[in-house]
Chain A
């Protein structure tokens, strides 16, 4: 089946630094990937839609200059949290859909902790 991976699984960084998270579709191509954020004991909130070869589409309230998205190939999207602060600590999850499939597989998530 379609598999989505993320790297790293967890990361701890100092406040003010930038962190890059990768999302890969392992056995299929994805022109569109989605980035979600999930705070503890809360639901997943869509942050942005990553489009291969074009600009990402951000949800209302999500700062595009803080959460940089690059969808450089049909199998890779990256999310960079710039100038991270403790309030950015969260579980970041991506998803992608193979063409024609009903499922929308999610990656395993990346736990970000900003000190």
Chain B
């Protein structure tokens, strides 16, 4: 079936470096993507989202890139800090009959920031 997956399960970076977390999706009809951060024992925290009519969107220290040609999504974190250490999930949003979106999550990448 359709799925959303990640290339790298674990990413280790030095504090201050930029981080890039990748995600591949298989549903070409997907039109909405979200990146979440999840710290241990907590619920996912929204980071940034992007719609399929865009190929780039920037937030505070984060940038999401969408390449629909190869069905690839990436999250870039600038000047990575120890507080960025967490598991990051990409998710695909799909509309339900109610008009609301449910999310299909990728397998997650653990980001470890070394001091």
Chain A residues close to B by CB (< 8 Å): 4, 6, 31-32, 34, 36, 42-46, 49, 51, 57, 91, 93, 95, 97, 102-109, 111
Contacts and interface: CB of A to CB of B under 8 A. Distances in A.
Contacts of B107: 42-43
A32 B96 contact: yes
Contact of B103 (A32, A34, A109): A34
Contacts of A102: 49
A80 to B, nearest CB: 20
Interface residues of B, number: 23
B104 A93 contact: no
Contacts of B96: 32, 49, 57
B42 A104 contact: no
B25 interface: no
**Ranked 5 nearest A-B pairs via Cβ:** A106-B43, A32-B100, A43-B105, A44-B105, A109-B43
Interface of B: 34, 36, 41-46, 49, 89, 93, 96-98, 100-108
Nearest to A34: B102
A49 B100 CA distance: 10
B46 to A, nearest CB: 5
B103 A46 contact: yes
Contacts of B42: 108-109
A93 to B, nearest CB: 5
